[in-house]
Amino acid sequence: MDTIMDIDQVIIDANIATMVPTGPNDEYGIIEQGAVLLSGDKIAWIGPMAQMPELDLLSIPVYSAQGAWLTPGLIDCHTHIVFGGNRSQEFERRLQGESYQSIAQSGGGIATTVRATRAADRETLFSKAKQRLDALLREGVTTVETKSGYGLDLESELKLLEVAAILDEHHPISIQSTFLGAHALPPEYKDDADGYIDLVCEQMLPEVAARKLANAVDVFCENVGFNQAQTERVFKRAKELGFNVKLHAEQLSNMHGTELAARYQALSADHLEYLDEAGVKAMKEAGMVAVLLPGAFYYLRETKYPPIELLHQYQVPIAIATDFNPGTSPLCSLLLMMNMACTLFKLTPGQSLLAVTRHAATALGLEDRGQLAQGMRADIALWDIEHPSQLSYEFGTGPLKKLWIQGVLSKAF
C-alpha cells in the first residue's frame, strides 16, 4: 500500500475532536483512543487505533498523546495585526468618559494609527506583528487572516500587505491577507469619500491584484466608514479583479451592508451587532459565514447583541475571531474569544470550537483545513485537557502541549 509507505509521523493514544460531526448530538466529531498518520504536510489516515493500518513503527517517529486531546489547529479569521503604534492614551481618555466616536471626530481613533503606521518602517511593523503571531501560536493558532487598512494611501497599504507576505514566509503560521483600503477616510480626502473610493478602485485594487498581495477585499460599511454605494463600487471592482469579498457590517448601526454583501457572494459578514432578520436570511441564502467578534463587543462595552438566536434558527455558520486591532480589540487571544463567545454570546463550547476551526476556514474560503480528516493539511494541536469544552471553559492556563503546522512540529514548545 503506497500511502502507508509514505507515512513519516504517527500520533497515537489520542482523544480526537475532528470537528467533523457524526450526528446532531456530536458537535466535536470525537474519536476516542485514536491515531493520526501524517504524510508530509497532510493527514494520510485518521481513526481509532484499533483500526490503524499496519506500519513498521520502528522506522517512523511516534508521538504518544497519552490520552490528551487533538483538535485542528485554530484559525483566527479576522484580525488587523499589522499596524504602527498603539492607542493606550486614547484608552485612558475613554475611561475618563469620552466615547470611541468622539475621539475619532477629534482627529484620534483610526487616524492616530494611520499616522503611526505611515511613519513606521517595515522592520518595526514586522517585529510588532510577529510578537502578536507568536502569542497566537502559543495558543494553537495555525492560520491567521490579517487586513491592511491603516495605510490609506497606495504606498502605505502596499507596505502593510508586503509585511504580511513576509510574515507568511518567515513565520510558521499561515497568513491570509485581506485588502481593507476602504477602512476609513485618510486626511487627504477629508470631505471627499467618493474621491477616495476612486483611488481605491482605480489604483489600489489593480496594484494589489497585479502583485498578488491579497486573497480577499473587505470594506468598513458604517456611518463612520463607507456607505452602501461606495461599498458596492469596491465590491464590483474587486470581483472584476478576481478577489473574494467580505464585509465589516452592522457593527455600530444597521446599514444593510450584509444584504449587499450577499448579492456579491461574500464569504462572510463580520461584527453584525445590528443585523436584522432580513440580513440573516440573505446570509443563509448566499451561504455566508457570520463572523462574530466578542473582543470588540466587550471592549466597546456594546449592549446590542448580534442576533444569535436568528443565526442559529437559519443555520448560518458562526465563526469567531479576535479582530485584534489597536482601537476596539487589543486582545491577542483566540482562547479568550472562545470563552467570551460562550459567556457573552451564549455559544456552547462545541459551537465555539467549531467557530475557530471549520467555520473559520469557511469564512476564509479555505477547504483544506479546519477539520481533522484524511487529505487535510496536517495543522494539529495537542492539548493537555480532559475534554474539548475545557478550551472555552478556563482561560490563562496555557493548555497547548504540541503543535504541528503542515506536518512540521513547532519549535515554540
**Which residues in this chain contact ligand DI6 in the complex, by CB under 6 A?**
109-110, 113, 183, 220, 248, 251, 296, 325-328
Binder of residue 220, out of Fe ion, ligand DI6, none (CB less than 5 to 8 A by kind): ligand DI6
Report the residue number whose CB is nearest to ligand DI6: 327
In one-letter notation, the amino acid at residue 229 is: A
Cβ nearer to ligand DI6, comparing 27 with 302: 302
Alpha-carbon gap, residue 254 to 222, rounded angstroms:
8
How many H helices and E strands in the chain? 17, 16
Q: What is the DSSP string of 15-72?
A: EEE-S--SBTTBSS-EEEEEEEEEETTEEEEEEEGGGPPP--GGGS-EEE-TT-EEEE
Picked from Fe ion, ligand DI6, none, the partner binding residue 327 (CB below 5 to 8 A depending on kind) is ligand DI6
d(CA 315, CA 296): 24
Residue 28 binds which of ligand DI6, Fe ion, none (CB < 5-8 A, kind-dependent): none
Closest to ligand DI6 by CB, 148 or 351: 148
Which listed residue (139, 145, 323, 379) binds Fe ion by CB under 5 A?
A: 323
Nearer to ligand DI6, 113 or 231 (CB): 113
Name every residue whose Cβ is closer than 8 Å to that of residue 401 and which is 6 or more positions away in sequence: 68, 382, 383, 384, 413
Q: Does 153 bind Fe ion (CB under 5 A)?
A: no
Stretch that binds Fe ion, among 123-131, 260-268, 300-308, 318-326 (CB under 5 A): 318-326
- Nearest-CB residue for Fe ion: 323
**Min CB(87)–ligand DI6 separation in Å:** 7
Pair type for strands 244-249 and 268-271: parallel
DSSP 162-203: HHHHHHHHHSSSEEEEEEEEETS--GGGTT-HHHHHHHIIII
Q: Work out what residue 109 binds among Fe ion, ligand DI6, none; the CB cut-off runs from 5 to 8 Å by kind.
A: ligand DI6
Say which residues have a Cβ less than 8 Å from residue 123's Cβ, sequence separation at least 6.
none
Q: Which is nearer to ligand DI6, 302 or 379 (CB)?
A: 302
CB of 108 to Fe ion, least distance (A): 18
> By the criterion CB under 5 A, which residues form the site for Fe ion?
323
